[in-house]
Structures are given as structure tokens and as C-alpha cells.
Amino acid sequence: MAAMKLRLYSTQCDLQFRGAALKNLSAFLERGAMVAGILALVILAAGCRKKASLPSNRAQAGGSQPVRIACTVPAATQMLLQLGAAGDLVGVSSFDRPLLPPRLQTLPIIGNYLHLDYETVLNVKPTVLVVQMAPARLPLSLTHFVRGNRIQLVNVRLNTLQQLYASAKLLGLVAGFSARATEAVARAKARMGAIRRRYADRSHRRVVFLIDTQPLMAVGKDTFLDQLIRAAGGNNVGEKLGADYPALTRETLVDLKPQVLLIGLPGQPAATGDADPRIAPWLNLPIPAAKKHQVYLVTGRRSQMPTLQVYKIAALLGRLIHGGNSRKQGG
């Protein structure tokens, strides 16, 4: 097979969500960093091989150099695991560890999207470095670093479902699992389609999903979480506040009159009921959600993370929006 070269097309990525990402570990930077521009693509000049079950650090497509991936994006790390590329990971971000299986807990920490530890990156000898940042924020030092050390830079974008699917295929391409990634994306789309059909005829209740409470930040329009709420038969009134993850006040929340209030607390224990101190204060607000006791915590570690299993988040949202139980939530 002809030798292949990876070329990077950096695209714009919104980093508005940085503060919440730092506070809510698994509330990915998916948010983690997001929104605006064209998808960061890594294009393979020649075709790619179909792979079945292969040993870790197998050779990169078209060459003898083994695949060694250092990843600073937790959602991308999760997608690599979902594609079966765990053996190719040689370094992860400082946000990853709580989400990794036991066998990967000792992987070196190479930093995160705010700060990269260049020395550690060199020590793990990656052939690929995965980041998520706007081109304007891409440090010149990073560009020189990857070029000087012959590391392929992959800049992913994960703000919408469409970007997520494209990034999954991109990661599959880099890891040598293109066919597997294509199949996984097709499965995710099919399951999302089934969820949309399930709730298509339901009453679209007004929903506000707070992805952070200090300060208050809601799911706005043009985000994958907005798409998941709509797929689950909800009317995301947070989109009235603008795109991405806008800040709001309690007064604004009251004005939105949500019938369902979702509070994202990734990685925290599940709610214990209306008396739970994390829920009780919200029940005092003059909103329909409080009157009907439709205030729920969303506590799953990956409940705000754009991966190939977003359909699980959509399924959870559907259950909560259409009559969930605050004692049985998570995701």
C-alpha cells in the first residue's frame, strides 16, 4: 500500500465553555472547548486499511511506525476507547483519569487543553497528538513542536452531533480503525433516530438544562446537548438565551418557565429525592418544574460528554423529560 501522509486542517472551535469544563470534569470540554468554524479534519492521502482485533501500538497506515496517541481531550479519549484503540494511548489529559478503566489509570498525564506539558509529551513519544482549540488560539510553539518532532496534530471539534460523528471518523482514521469508526457512527445515528421516533408525538415540554450552577450556565442552541434534548422530545428554552452555553440569572430562569429543570452534576452521587440539598433550593422557585416536582439531577460521569454513546444521554433525557423519577437518575 502506498505511503500515507496525514494533513491537518485546523478549524474553529469554541472555548467559551472552559470555566465549566474545569469545574465539571466529565462535563466535557465537549463543551470542553467548542463552537464555530469548520471541522478540524485529518485527511489521509491514500486509502486506509480495515482492521479487526489488532495488538496495541500496531504500525500506522502505510508505514512501520507504531500508532502512539497522546490525547488532551477527554471525549476524544472516550471515543478512542469505544473504537478499541485503548492500546494506542500513551498519554491522556489531567481530566481523564476518573473516566479511564483500571488498566489505563497509570497512563502519563500530558496536561490539558489549557496547558500542555511538552516534556512529558516528548517522553511518551507519540505519533499523534489530539487537541481541541480554536486556530487563533493554537500556540505557535505547539505548531513548531509537533513539526519538529514529527507528531501528527489532530484538532477535533465536538460541539454538535454532526461534528462529533465527523471527529469519530477522524479519530478512527488516525488510529487505523476507519471501518470500525464508520460502523460505530452508523449505529449511533440509528439509535438516535429511534429515540427521535419514540418521542416524536409527545408533548414537547419546556426544558432548561443547567450544565453549571456557579455561575449558572444553560445549554443554549447549536450544541449537541440542545440536539439531544430535542431528540428526546423536549423544547430547549435555553436556546432563547443564545448559542453555546450562555450564562443566566435565577430571574432569567424564572422567566423561561421551564416545565422540566435538569441540573448537571457529572460524577456526583445520584439524587436521594426532593429533600436532597442539591434539589430542594430549586423547588422554591416559582417555576412549573418546581410545582410539579420535575427538577432532576443528571449525575452520570459522561452525561455531558460528546462520545459515540450520546444516545444513552438522549435516552436518559427522554425518561426525565417525560416523567422521570428524581431518585433514579444518572446517565
Task: Report the alpha-carbon distance of residue 196 to residue 267 in Å, rounded.
Answer: 27
Task: Chunk the chain into consecutive blocks of 10 residues (it has 331) and report each block's average pLDDT, rounded to whole numbers.
Answer: 37 36 38 31 29 43 76 98 97 94 96 90 98 88 96 96 98 97 98 97 96 96 97 98 97 98 96 93 97 96 96 97 61 48
Q: How far, CA to CA in Å, does 226 sit from each of 31, 37, 210, 219, 295? A: 12, 18, 12, 6, 18
Task: Report the alpha-carbon distance of residue 312 to residue 315 in Å, rounded.
Answer: 5
Task: Report the alpha-carbon distance of residue 185 to residue 161 in Å, rounded.
Answer: 10
pLDDT tens digit sequence for 280-324? 999 999 999 999 999 999 999 999 999 999 999 999 999 999 986
Q: What is the pLDDT of residue 53?
A: 33
Q: Rg of the Cα trace of the chain?
A: 20
Q: What is the pLDDT of residue 60?
A: 52
Q: What is the pLDDT of residue 27?
A: 38
Structural domains in the chain, CATH included, are 6-186 (3.40.50.1980), 202-321 (3.40.50.1980)
Count of Cβ atoms closer than 10 Å to residue 20 Cβ: 24
Q: What is the pLDDT of residue 1?
A: 40
Cβ(214)–Cβ(23) under 8 Å? yes
Q: What is the pLDDT of residue 119?
A: 96
Per-residue HEC secondary structure of 57-99 comes to: CCECCCCCCECCEEECCHHHHHHHHHCCCHHHEEEECCCCHHH
Among 326, 257, 252, 249, CA closest to 286: 257
Give kind and range of the element (H or E) at residue 113.
none
Q: How far, CA to CA in Å, does 128 sit from each of 146, 154, 198, 208, 324? A: 9, 7, 40, 38, 42
Task: Report the alpha-carbon distance of residue 168 to residue 159 in Å, rounded.
Answer: 13
Q: What is the pLDDT of residue 58?
A: 52
Q: Which residue has the cell 443528571?
A: 298
Task: Return all residues near 144 (Cβ < 8 A) that are at least 6 apart.
Answer: none
Q: What is the pLDDT of residue 59?
A: 52
Give kind and range of the element (H or E) at residue 242.
none
Half-sphere exposure of 255 (CA within 13 A, CB side): 8
Q: Which residue has the cell 469554541?
A: 14
Task: Return all residues near 63 (Cβ < 8 A) that are at least 6 apart.
Answer: 3, 4
Q: What is the pLDDT of residue 112?
A: 86
Adjacent-strand bridge partners of 44: 6
Task: Report the alpha-carbon distance of residue 162 to residue 239 in Å, rounded.
Answer: 18
Cβ(297)–Cβ(324) under 8 Å? no
**Cell, residue 182:** 464508520
